[in-house]
Amino acid sequence: MPRLVVNQWLASLRRIFWLVALVWIVQVVNSAYGMTFNGLGIYPRDWQGLSGIFIWPLLHANLVHLLMNTVPLLILGFFVALRGTQAFIKATLLIMIVGGFGVWVFGRPAYHIGASGLVFGYLGFLLAVGIYERRLGSLLVGAMMMFYYGGMIFGVLPQNGFVSWEGHLFGLLAGVLAARLLARPERSQRK
């Protein structure tokens, strides 16, 4: 494998590992304080709950919740991180803020927390960016993500009162928006 590709993959791994490490550190601190930080999540249509938009993916109800989000966050986040540091940061912030705002406006009255909104956002990004860019590599990554994670799409439907399907839905939609805004179309299609 060429050195450039290896370096790009290692850089992408570092980017997503830093994010996942941050999520785990927040969980350890939150656990030490009796999970009281979860009250800082998004609480829809409450002005104090609006600030949760900036931290909702970092908070988790318990260790099982965090473990369920860690692997897809690593895998999907890695493929988003392959697009470079700026694209990774922009996509992550867009998903957090736009998706979080959607939850704040339309969500049911409950605290919405967890990285699954970001996971669904990364999935939406990876599925949509191939369509917007019309590049073979982006389309192949999107197809691979659809094959492995396509079943997650049903997570946007109301199922369990403890699962923020709103976070999943608005995360996914925010990921599609991020793909639209950050896509790099082929040069021959640019005007």
Structure tokens at 118: 């970001």
pLDDT at 187 over 80: no
Angle at the Cα of 117 (from 34 to 16), degrees rounded to 5? Answer: 85
Q: What is the mean pLDDT of residues 155-168?
A: 89
- pLDDT for 64-112, tens place per residue? 999 999 999 999 999 999 999 999 999 999 999 999 999 999 999 999 9
Domain count, the chain: 1
- Count Cα atoms within 13 angstroms, Cβ side, for 15: 24
Q: What is the mean pLDDT of residues 143-161?
A: 89
Q: What is the pTM of this model?
A: 0.94
Q: What is the DSSP letter of 55?
A: T
| Residue 18 burial by Cβ neighbours in a 10 Å radius (0-12, 13-18, 19+) | exposed
Closest CA to 141 of 92, 190, 89, 183: 183
Q: How far is CA 98 from CA 56, 89, 134, in A?
A: 12, 14, 25
Mean of all residue pLDDT scores within the chain? 93
Q: What is the mean pLDDT of residues 167-173?
A: 97
d(CA 32, CA 46): 27
CATH number of the domain residue 25 falls in = 1.20.1540.10
Residue 27's domain spans which residues? 3-189
Give me the pLDDT at residue 188, please. Answer: 53
Contact between 173 and 102 (Cβ < 8 Å): yes
